[in-house]
Amino acid sequence: MTLPPIDEWWSELSPDAQHSVLDSDSALLDETVREEIRQITGAVVGMVEQLSATDRKYARAHAPTED
């Protein structure tokens, strides 16, 4: 199981899932986020899959802005 590239799924995650990723102190993805990634990409994302430092930087750079 491999985490698909973040640019393939980040923009399609729900706002709640994006906030979960951004607010987490862990690089591990919670079950809800993994399930959304599976629905978006078709990839099975395992419990031990982690966001790299580069992925976390991408997520912060592409986070939705608060209006």
Long-range own/partner contacts, residues 27-31 (CB < 8 A, 24 or more apart) = 27/51, 27/52, 27/56, 29/3
Quick check: is 46 in a domain?
yes
pTM of the predicted protein model: 0.89
Q: What is the pLDDT of residues 15-54, one digit of tens each?
A: 999 999 999 999 899 999 999 999 999 999 999 999 999 9
Total number of domains in the chain: 1
Owning domain of residue 37 = 6-61
Residue with the bigger pLDDT between 65 and 6: it is 6
Quick check: is 1 in a domain?
no
Quick check: is 24 in a domain?
yes
